Homo-oligomer: A and B are copies of this chain.
Amino acid sequence: MNTEDGNKFQKIYEKERKIIEPKIKNVLKGRKPASLYEPSEYILDSTGKRLRPLLVIASAKACGLNYKDVYNSAIAVELLHIFTLVHDDIMDNADKRRNKVTVHKKYDLSTAILVGDILLAEAYNVLLKDGRGDFGKIAKAFTRALTEVCEGQSLDKDFETEKSVSLADYIKMVEKKTAALCAMCCTIGALLANADDKTIRAMYNYGKNIGIAFQIQDDLLDITGNVKEFGKNTGGDLLEGKKTFLFITALQRAAGKDKTALLKVIKNKGITPGEIETYEKLYYKLGVIDDAKDSINKYTKIAVKNLKVLKNNEDIEYFTWLADSLIKRSK
């Protein structure tokens, strides 16, 4: 893709992000009680990529609808996503998210649990508003993704205490924890537009595979990310002893002293901040940074292959650009 096209698509993305952004931020505005809705507005007020709502809009557009027809569903998927972030941050005992203090740290545990719950409630509330497509199918796809996200988070928590996690286990976890939601976004975009089954399946597979690529990229950014752009400190996954793509691949590749060092992370359930640099260097030495990049490219290619079902070439190019820019992202 040439730079000109890239710039064009970037402009479309930004334009749509700017339309959807205030709608997300204001979805709970002025509601009471303040003890519930102010912390909810606090977390909605952080500026994210809004990838998921833009997937809904792009998918619906590729199947013949305007963003105005589907923006409630677009808001719904972001609310579902933020619900998972708020609850996950409690479980991961995270301090920061998108450059802001996490809800449970800024307020308290009870507030953070309830904020997550109300965001999910509101997600269903707005999902019911567009009134297009087969609502039963849309709600089912939405609920399936919610179920998978919970299962994925549970698998991810299991990994913390499991001595051995294979790359296949990891991918299975990521399919649920991250990819299911992206797949759902593309699916409901198509469902809202009453697309045929073949298109719905293709959009589902596109979303699923960019979701997997996205998560591996996320694991990668935990090491290669720029603190300011990434919005949190690097090495966080190592501190927590997380079985990321990098860690699992490193353990497969390592021998001798390197292997002992990695096994120590499992045994101690993480490392200390002072050790981060050592382990980052080990990742580079073992070549797992390149492994991650290869995998990201692989899943992105699979994603893009599904796009041939789309009729309009510009839609194919937009989705291709989107997949490509996710690989190149720094946050």
Q: Please state if B118 and A91 are interface contacts (CB–CB under 8 Å).
A: no
Complex: how many Å from CA A117 to CA B139? 16
CB-CB contacts of A143-182 with B at 8 A, as 1s and 0s?
1101100110111011000000000000000000000000
Q: Please state if A118 and B150 are interface contacts (CB–CB under 8 Å).
A: yes
Q: Please state if A151 and B33 are interface contacts (CB–CB under 8 Å).
A: yes
A contact face: mostly helix, strand, loop, or mixed? helix
CB neighbours of A90 from chain B (8 A): 109-110, 113
CB neighbours of A117 from chain B (8 A): 87, 116, 120, 146, 150
Query: Which of B113, B142, B147 interacts with A87 by CB under 8 Å?
Result: B113
Interface residues of A in 107-152 (CB under 8 A from B): 109-111, 113-114, 116-118, 120-122, 124-125, 128, 131, 135-136, 139-140, 142-144, 146-147, 150-151
A35 touches B (CB below 8 Å): yes
CB-CB contacts of A64-107 with B at 8 A, as 1s and 0s?
00000000000000000000000100110000000000000000
Q: Please state if A35 and B114 are interface contacts (CB–CB under 8 Å).
A: no
Complex: how many Å from CA A264 to CA B147? 46
Interface residues of A in 22-61 (CB under 8 A from B): 32-33, 35-36
Known contacts A90-B109, A91-B109, A113-B91, A140 near B128 by CB under 8 Å: yes
Closest chain B residue, CB of each to CB of A146 = B121
Q: Please state if B158 and A146 are interface contacts (CB–CB under 8 Å).
A: no
Complex: how many Å from CA A120 to CA B153? 15
Nearest 4 pairs of A and B residues by beta carbon: A36-B154, A91-B110, A121-B146, A124-B143
Interface pairs (24), CB distance under 8 Å:
A32-B151, A33-B151, A35-B155, A35-B157, A36-B151, A36-B154, A87-B113, A91-B109, A91-B110, A114-B150, A114-B153, A114-B154, A114-B157, A117-B120, A117-B146, A117-B150, A118-B151, A121-B143, A121-B147, A121-B150, A124-B124, A124-B143, A128-B140, A135-B135
